Amino acid sequence: MNKFTAVFILIILALGSCSTAPVNTGDINVLRKSAEIGLESANKSAGQGNFANARNLLVEYKKQAILADDSSLLIRICLSYGNVLLSLGKTDEAYAEWDQAVAEAQKSGDKELLSVTRIFRARGNLLSGKASAQSVLDEVNREIGNVKTNKLYIAYSWQTKGMAQRDLNSYTEAEASIKKSLEINEKEKALENASYDWYTIASIRSMAGNTAGALQALDSAIKIDRRIENSFGLAANWRAVGDIYRKMGKNDDALDAYKRSRAIFDALGNKDEVTAIDARINGNN
C-alpha cells in the first residue's frame, strides 16, 4: 500500500532581547523536533499506503534519534519502521526493528512503551502467520492495561485485539474492539487510522455473512478517505466493495467497483495492485 507525502520542516530561531522572547533554558532540541515531525509524516505516509516513502523518511529520522540519544523516540521510530518493512515484504528486517524496540524499552524501564513494543511485535506475528490468533490475543490482553498515555497506541492495541478476535471467528467481540479503536482515532483526528478501522469492520461483517453491513462500513471508509484525499485507501476500499458484490453474486456491480479501484491504483502507478485487480476482473482471483 503506497502514498507519497513531502516533509517540510521549519525551524524558527527566536532572537532578540525583547521581553516577549522565550527564556533560553540551554536545551537544544533540533534533532528531536526534526525527528518527531518526520515520524509523524512517515506514519501519515504509511497510513496512506506509501510505504516506500515512509521507509525513506524513517531511515533518516532513525539516524537523528540515535544522534540525539533519545530512547523513547528511537523506540517509536523502530516500531513504525518495522510495520513499514513488513508491508514491503521484508519480514526479517521488520523483526529486527521490533526486536530493537523491545530491547531498548526493556533497558529504559518504561513499562508502557515495553507493552507497546510487545503489542506491535504480536501484531506482526499475526499478520505474518508466525503465531496463532489466540496467542496474539492472549499477549495483547496481558499488555493492553499498561498502555495508558498515548491515545493512538491505545487505539492500535484495540485494533490488534480486534484483528485477532476476527481471525478466531469471534465477530461480535472483534467489531466491538475495532469500534473502540475507531472512537479514539476519530476523536484524535487520526483519519487514516479511522478509515482503516471501518475497512476492518467491513471485513469482520463480511466474514460473519453480513454483506450489507460490510458495504455500509466501506461506504464510511470511502467518505473519510475522500475527505483526506487518501487515494490508496480509496482504491483498497473499492476493491473490497468489488469483492463483497462478487460474494453476493452481483457481478456487474463488482466489475464497476473493480474498475474504479483499478483506475485509482493505475493513477498511483501501483503496477502490482493493478495486476491483482486485473486478475479479479478476469475471474482469476
| pLDDT tens by residue, 94-122 | 999 999 999 999 999 999 999 999 999 99
Residue pair 218/199 in contact by the 8 Å Cβ criterion: yes
- The residue segments making up the domain with residue 80 are 31-109
Separation of alpha carbons 166 and 133, rounded Å: 9
In a domain, 175, yes or no: no
Confidence band, pLDDT 50/70/90 cuts, at residue 183: very high
Of the CA atoms within 13 Å of residue 272, those in its CB half-sphere come to 6
Runs of H (alpha helix) within 144-210 = 151-167, 171-187, 191-207
In a domain, 46, yes or no: yes
Q: Is the pLDDT of residue 19 over 50?
A: no
In a domain, 45, yes or no: yes
Q: What is the CATH number of the domain that holds 86?
A: 1.25.40.10
Backbone angles phi, psi at 26, to 5 degrees: 90, -10
Question: pTM score, two decimals?
Answer: 0.85
Average pLDDT over residues 11-39: 57
Average pLDDT, the chain: 89
In a domain, 42, yes or no: yes
In a domain, 172, yes or no: no
In a domain, 39, yes or no: yes
Cell of 160: 490488534
Instruction: Sort 206 into a burial class: Cβ within 10 Å, 0-12 / 13-18 / 19+.
Output: buried
Residue pair 7/59 in contact by the 8 Å Cβ criterion: no
In a domain, 187, yes or no: no
In a domain, 88, yes or no: yes
Task: Supply the DSSP symbol for 131.
Answer: S
**Total domain count, the chain:** 1
What's the pLDDT tens digit per position in 225-261?
A: 999 999 999 999 999 999 999 999 999 999 999 999 9
What's the pLDDT tens digit per position in 55-70?
A: 999 999 999 999 999 9
